[in-house]
């Protein structure tokens, strides 16, 4: 863990604004979610955005440090069945160039790879190599309007998430289709999933089918967030 990362952790701890300490108890169980969540979420978001550096890369790991057995498969409603030939990634919302991309078109975009630590709110972590396309490459193709501040992600299993646009544009936020040098397994989110070292695991949607770029958040911010979890969920 680098010095800047440690400073961030210490700041959250000292300030009493750590989203995990405020909202979660035990293995990811919301604590007083009906009261604490609505009161603390706007403040947590502002603090997270204030100390987040949207362009600073997170230090990565070496090939020898990959932990292939430690990435636990968590599902929302079970693994959806997706026909790769019929799959389309929809990018819409407040954009000038809505997109409907095939997997072949996505794979033809410049590829990025990173070895990062995936951190789950349940208390486990795994060092994983992800390969895919930088999300900002796809967002740029859609030509978002100047007022866009958030990205919504919809998944084939009904899961939904939202991110701040700065985190979505971070250079290490990927739409991944490879894991540890091989095609992404279906259980891990194939054909496309979010992967990033700057967010907790529940923010990293699997089986992504739609990205909507918008200027404001709706009442539904994310599956777990709507049950009391922190929205920014930064690392």
For 120-168, give the DSSP string: -TTS-EEEEEEEEEEHHHHHHHH-B-TT--EEEEEETTS-EEEEEHHHH
Residue 151's contacts (CB-CB under 8 Å, 6 or more residues apart) are: 135, 139, 162, 163, 164, 165, 168, 211, 212, 213, 214
Token couple for 124: 């486990």
**What's the full length of the chain, in residues?**
235
Res. 18 pLDDT band, cuts 50 70 90:
very low
Which position has the higher pLDDT, 42 or 25?
42
Alpha-carbon distance 84 to 87, whole Å? 5
Note whether 89 and 208 are within 8 A (CB).
yes
Tell me which of 30-34, 79-83, 131-135, 167-171 is least confident: 30-34
Count the neighbouring beta carbons within 10 Å of the beta carbon of residue 69.
7
- The mean pLDDT value for 127-146 works out to 98
Token couple for 15: 């300030």
Residue 42's contacts (CB-CB under 8 Å, 6 or more residues apart) are: none
User: Collapsing DSSP states into helix, strand and coil, what is residue 10?
Assistant: helix
| pLDDT at residue number 139 | 98
pLDDT exceeds cutoff 50 at 31: no
Q: Which of 171, 166, 156, 235 is nearest to 202 (CA)?
A: 235
Output the pTM of the full model.
0.79
Note whether 71 and 115 are within 8 A (CB).
no
Alpha-carbon distance 120 to 72, whole Å? 9
Note whether 199 and 167 are within 8 A (CB).
yes
- Tell me the β-bridge partners of 113: 131
Which position has the higher pLDDT, 231 or 48?
231
Q: Which of 86, 78, 8, 21 is nearest to 48 (CA)?
A: 8
- The mean pLDDT value for 107-126 works out to 96
- The mean pLDDT value for 46-71 works out to 80
Alpha-carbon distance 129 to 138, whole Å? 21
């Amino acid at each position: 863990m680098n010095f800047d990362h440690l400073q961030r952790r210490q700041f959250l701890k000292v300030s009493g604004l750590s989203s995990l300490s405020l909202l979660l108890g035990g293995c990811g169980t919301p604590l007083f979610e009906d009261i604490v969540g609505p009161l603390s979420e706007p403040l947590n978001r502002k603090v997270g955005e204030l100390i987040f550096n949207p362009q600073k890369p997170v230090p990565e790991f070496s090939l020898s440090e990959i932990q292939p057995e430690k990435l636990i498969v968590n599902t929302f409603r079970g693994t959806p069945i997706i026909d790769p030939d019929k799959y389309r990634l929809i990018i819409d919302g407040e954009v000038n160039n809505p997109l409907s991309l095939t997997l072949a078109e996505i794979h033809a975009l410049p590829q990025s790879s990173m070895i990062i630590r995936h951190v789950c709110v349940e208390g486990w972590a795994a060092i994983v190599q992800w390969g895919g396309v930088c999300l900002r490459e796809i967002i740029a193709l859609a030509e978002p309007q100047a007022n866009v501040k958030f990205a919504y992600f919809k998944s084939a299993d009904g899961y939904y998430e939202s991110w701040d646009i700065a985190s979505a544009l971070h250079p290490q936020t990927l739409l991944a289709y490879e894991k540890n040098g091989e095609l992404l397994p279906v259980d891990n989110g194939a054909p496309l999933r979010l992967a990033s070292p700057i967010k907790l695991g529940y923010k990293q949607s699997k089986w992504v089918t739609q990205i909507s770029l918008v200027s404001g958040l709706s009442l539904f911010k994310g599956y777990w967030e709507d049950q009391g979890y922190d929205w920014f969920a930064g690392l």
